[in-house]
Amino acid sequence: MTYSTTLKTLGEIETDAAQGLVTRTIPSLIYLMLHKESEFRAHNQLVGRAGALLSRLLARERDHLYSESVNTIWRAAGIEFSLAGRDVRYYSSEDVRSRHNILPGDCRPTKARLAPFRALQEKFGRRDFYGLHTFIWWNLEAGGGCGLSTRYGTSGGVSQPGAIFLEAVALVGRLADRPPHLLVAHEIGHFLGLPHPDESVGTDSKRLMHPSYPGPVLTRGEVVRAGAEAHRLTGFRNGTPKEEARCLPKDR
């Protein structure tokens, strides 16, 4: 027997009464970032292809494409992402500060480094949507993608939802040399507040949060931390974000 309820804050919560399992569903809105100028038409077409792929990568358990989905990874933390819709946004070279249509920024986790990404989200993102904002650009200087965690106000409410920025060339273009669901799942990890592991962790660990995301492995600490952030985002109790979700165990 299962039941689900949609909360005012964000997402759904499904409980399997037989097994005592809780899954928190976070909706994702995809933004196809298209350049206004006709000379970048080929770039825009690649963004469209990447958007179609990403829709498949968000397949839910009952969908036939589930085996390719990021949800096969995040189910370990009791988290599922669903496609809420796709929007098209048009930008100019002035927005990316480049005539070569490359979004600048190195995405290191500092306030100053992430400020340009936050500003673009503020400009192009929907302010009435409190799920995962997913922006697909043709190319990122950072390479691959960039994940931003949710920012909370002093009262515990959401001041700016989290987001991920993905580049089309790494999903379906010339730089698509690794499974795309690992790239997307890795950036979702940053959205859920997970950092890269210690530099001593090698690629043979198959850790998802390694900078090169060589595999789907999440540690127990990562599962707990991501689950706590999802708990807070979905406002599991009484439809309100919970501050105690910030009291997280160290990774191990």
Can you give the CATH number for the domain in which 226 is found? Answer: 3.40.390
Local mean pLDDT, 10-residue blocks, the chain (252 residues) = 32 46 88 96 96 94 86 94 95 87 83 85 91 95 90 71 94 85 96 90 87 94 94 60 34 36
Q: What is the pTM (predicted TM-score) of this model?
A: 0.84
Number of domains within the chain: 1
Contact 124, 31 (CB under 8 A): yes
> Residue 2: inside a domain, yes or no?
no
pLDDT at 12: 53
> Residue 42: inside a domain, yes or no?
yes
pLDDT at 155: 62
The domain of 233 spans 24-243
pLDDT at 5: 29
> Residue 194: inside a domain, yes or no?
yes
> Residue 7: inside a domain, yes or no?
no
Both tokens assigned to 117: 């990404």
pLDDT at 105: 83
Q: How far is CA 187 from the centre of its chain?
A: 5
> Residue 6: inside a domain, yes or no?
no
pLDDT at 112: 76
Strands 158-160, 2-6: parallel, antiparallel or unpaired by DSSP?
unpaired
- CA dist 154 and 243 (Å) reads 10
Query: Residue 159 to residues 31, 93, 153, 162: CA-CA distances in angstroms?
Result: 20, 28, 5, 10
pLDDT at 177: 80
pLDDT at 14: 54
Question: Tokens 């273009």 sit at which residue?
Answer: 173
> Residue 16: inside a domain, yes or no?
no
pLDDT at 68: 86
Contact 145, 187 (CB under 8 A): yes
pLDDT at 19: 44
> Residue 252: inside a domain, yes or no?
no
> Residue 97: inside a domain, yes or no?
yes
